[in-house]
Chains A and B, each alone.
Chain A
């Protein structure tokens, strides 16, 4: 982080000054300290500070006195006062005298970090200091969203056009096509890129956990809740919330979701405080929401609220031209991570990859290359290194079974059998969560052979 903001800590206790000092240094601030109000004033006359953290109670000049004197010099100075005890009269006096805010010592690190960040952001906006943000653009860029095919170029265009807006986006595509990568690409190309993108896999969470996960909970909200916990919507403040497998949420949660998306306000579970959060919504699904709406399993009003801007990611088998590019990208990625000298792939192996159906799409391709890199002995990936050697013929399509559903069924059944129906292990290999795997087992009516 290239933050250049300068903070002055004014506190008579050395131990407190030092702990604040180290904490802010790690957070990339330039930090200076003063042990009393007089020293702080001398330093302030010589240097410009972006924020002052001032202890209220100090021998000699008090924190409130220092606040008044600094404000007389610079009315825009940002001063946060620190008190030993939370008291409303003190807070009111401090705020009336122009303090930005006050905190009680010891300070919750999360609260302090956000308070300082917010104060400095406001200041930065005020003086229109956009230079800082431009400097870090190169750090964040989309990973793995690779391809030169016209389909993927179309997706780049869509991502580009929707990123600059706050429009709700729905991403559709089969499992493993890279829906999350597209969501991430939208986020990092938007003005929200300096705040996080929070991913929620709606299909992976039990109904009872989803509410607490999305909205957070207060201490004591339920048995075992020993601490306050922020929910995903709160964590996405200023950023983006990515709701994956949106089609799997219950009708009851859909009502809640619609309300929160429309009002941007909610309560934590067990809490009365109304939490406001400024988030952008991106959803993804591999189901037909239209069919779910028709079947009464998905609310029509929520559907229209979410289905504002659509991006459809084609399966890998429909953009085979991108396979060589992806293969080379993954070889480079894994050779660096594994410190292996594998640099390329044999023609026979590439032909095999080009002709494979890829039911698990790009994710399956990535896994195949990773596994090949692990077992590969030469400087080139061969067909024998690919994870299909057990029975290559199994992957060739029988004449009468060319639908995606039949391929998926066959593939899942094979991986289940290879792992003796160990659900966790199979889900891990397929890179889907256990709930999704159970759903697919039920959908395809798969049974373990006796």
Chain B
């Protein structure tokens, strides 16, 4: 099953290209970049200065019928669900759609120092994580597994960058 990356309000072409390269090493499925005409501003909360991810996913469903595979929306903007202050990403469990924000994956937000390789590593981890949810995986207890929960950036950095054996078997097309 193919993987479709839909960059929306996403401005780093280099990061996108590197992500595709890394995903291609990990999946036998084809990776495509698609342009979906989704207006993110419709989901912007003026109070929170963030974008409501659950509603974005609902809109993605309307716009991506033609794609047979997993579709992940990649964005630079900060996203939220109402109960929480922020989220890195959201995915349909056992579904087709997910969203990942790299906004809070930038090291510069935390230490003031940009680190592009760390940003790529975090983006790979969180992309694999959200895709994992699409493939039906819930959070894994193994810290070496990319499906371990990451509720803060520290936990993104601690956890591994691959699926553990148990999770890997459930992910379609993972080498």
Contacts and interface: CB of A to CB of B under 8 A. Distances in A.
A224 B154 contact: no
B130 to A, nearest CB: 10
B149 A229 contact: no
Nearest to A27: B139
Contact of A23 (B81, B141, B153, B175): B81
A243 to B, nearest CB: 15
B96 interface: no
A108 B143 CA distance: 21
Interface string B122-133: 000000000001
A332 interface: no
B166 to A, nearest CB: 7
B158 A235 contact: yes
A362 interface: no
B152 A110 contact: yes
A224 B143 CA distance: 29
B46 interface: no
B93 A26 contact: yes
Interface stretch (B1-9, B11-19, B61-69, B105-113): B105-113
Interface in A1-20: 1-2, 13, 15-16, 18-20
Interface SS, A side: mixed
A447 B151 CA distance: 47
Interface residues of A, number: 45
Given A109-B151, A109-B152, A225-B112, A196 B143 contact: yes
A226 B85 contact: no
Given A28-B139, A109-B152, A139-B164, A19 B84 contact: yes
Nearest to B137: A26
Interface string A120-143: 000000000000000010011000
A270 to B, nearest CB: 12
Given A18-B54, A225-B111, A229-B110, A139 B141 contact: yes
Nearest to A223: B112
B113 A224 contact: yes
A19 B112 contact: no
Interface in A80-126: 105-110, 112-114
A236 to B, nearest CB: 9
Contacts of B149: 26-27, 113
A108 B84 contact: yes
B84 to A, nearest CB: 5
A27 B137 CA distance: 10
Contacts of A20: 83
A16 B138 contact: no
Contacts of B84: 19, 23, 106-109, 112
A227 B104 CA distance: 10
A400 B166 CA distance: 52
A140 B140 CA distance: 11
A16 B139 contact: no
Nearest to B157: A235
Nearest to A184: B144
Given A26-B133, A225-B112, A19 B158 contact: no
Contacts of B83: 16, 19-20, 23, 105-107
Contacts of A150: none
B47 to A, nearest CB: 10
A106 B166 contact: no
B76 interface: no
Interface in B78-112: 80-87, 90-91, 93, 108-112
Nearest to A212: B111
Contacts of B109: 226-227
A22 B90 contact: yes
B110 A139 contact: no
A112 B151 contact: yes
B54 A136 contact: no
A360 B142 CA distance: 29
B23 to A, nearest CB: 15
Nearest to B26: A337
Contacts of B143: 196-197
Contacts of A229: 110-111, 153-154
Interface string B45-78: 0001000001000000000000000000000000
A450 to B, nearest CB: 32
Given A108-B85, A113-B149, A225-B112, 9 more contacts: A1-B140, A22-B90, A22-B93, A26-B93, A27-B138, A224-B112, A226-B108, A337-B175, A338-B175
Which 6 residue pairs across A and B have the least CB separation, nearest first?
A224-B112, A19-B81, A110-B152, A109-B151, A19-B83, A113-B151
19 contacts: A19-B82, A22-B81, A22-B93, A23-B81, A25-B93, A26-B133, A27-B149, A107-B84, A109-B151, A110-B155, A113-B151, A139-B142, A139-B164, A217-B111, A225-B112, A226-B110, A227-B109, A230-B154, A337-B175
